[in-house]
C-alpha cells in the first residue's frame, strides 16, 4: 500500500474538482464562455474522481482476495496450486526441483567454460596456421626473387 492507501490519484483529482467547484461562483459574472467552461469542467472532474475511486476499490478488492487465498493455501497445507493444471505441489517438491535445476545450471556453466577454452585454443591454432602460411608465402616469394635475380646475372 502506498500513500493514502493507493488513492493518491483520487485525492488529486478530488482536490482539483473541489477547487474548480469553489471557484465557479466567482467567475460566473466575468464572461459567458467561462461559465460554459465551468459547466463542462466541474461535472467531468467529479466523474473522474468517482472513476478513480471505484477503480481503486476494485483493484484493492481483487488484490485482497487473491492474496488471502494464496496465504491460506500456503499456511495450511504448505502446497502451491498451479493455475493451468489444478494440481498441488508441495514446498519440498519445489525445493527438490530447484536443487536439480541448479545442478543442471552448474553443469551447463562448466560445459560452457570448457567450450570457451576449446574455442580459445582453436583460435590460437588458426592464428598460428595463418602465421605459418604467411611465412611459407614469404619463402616462396623470396625464392622467386632469387630465381629472377640469378636469371638476370
Residue 102 is given by DSSP the state: H
Q: Phi, psi at residue 80, to the nearest 5°?
A: -120, 130
Q: pLDDT (tens digit, 0 to 9) for every residue of the chain, 153 residues total?
A: 566 777 888 999 999 999 999 998 888 788 888 888 899 999 999 999 999 999 999 988 888 877 655 555 555 555 555 556 667 778 888 889 899 999 999 998 888 888 888 888 898 999 889 998 999 999 999 999 999 888 887
- The answer to whether 44 touches 79, Cβ cutoff 8 Å, is no
Nearest to 5 by CA among 63, 70, 72: 63
17 burial via Cβ count (<10 Å: 0-12, 13-18, 19+):
buried
Gyration radius (Cα) of the chain, Å? 39
Residues 6+ apart with CB under 8 A from 59: 6
Amino acid at each position: 500500500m502506498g500513500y493514502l492507501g493507493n488513492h493518491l490519484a483520487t485525492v488529486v483529482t478530488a482536490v482539483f474538482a473541489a477547487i474548480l467547484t469553489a471557484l465557479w461562483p466567482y467567475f460566473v459574472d466575468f464572461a459567458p464562455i467561462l461559465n460554459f467552461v465551468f459547466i463542462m469542467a466541474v461535472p467531468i472532474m467529479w466523474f473522474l474522481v468517482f472513476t478513480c475511486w471505484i477503480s481503486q476499490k476494485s483493484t484493492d478488492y481483487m488484490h485482497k482476495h487473491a492474496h488471502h487465498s494464496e496465504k491460506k493455501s500456503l499456511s495450511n497445507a504448505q502446497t502451491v496450486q498451479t493455475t493451468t493444471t489444478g494440481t498441488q505441489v508441495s514446498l519440498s517438491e519445489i525445493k527438490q526441483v530447484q536443487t536439480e535445476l541448479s545442478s543442471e545450471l552448474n553443469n551447463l556453466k562448466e560445459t560452457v567454460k570448457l567450450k570457451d577454452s576449446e574455442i580459445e585454443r582453436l583460435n590460437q591454432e588458426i592464428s598460428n596456421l595463418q602465421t605459418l602460411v604467411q611465412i611459407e608465402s614469404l619463402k616462396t616469394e623470396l625464392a622467386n626473387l632469387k630465381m629472377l635475380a640469378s636469371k638476370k646475372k
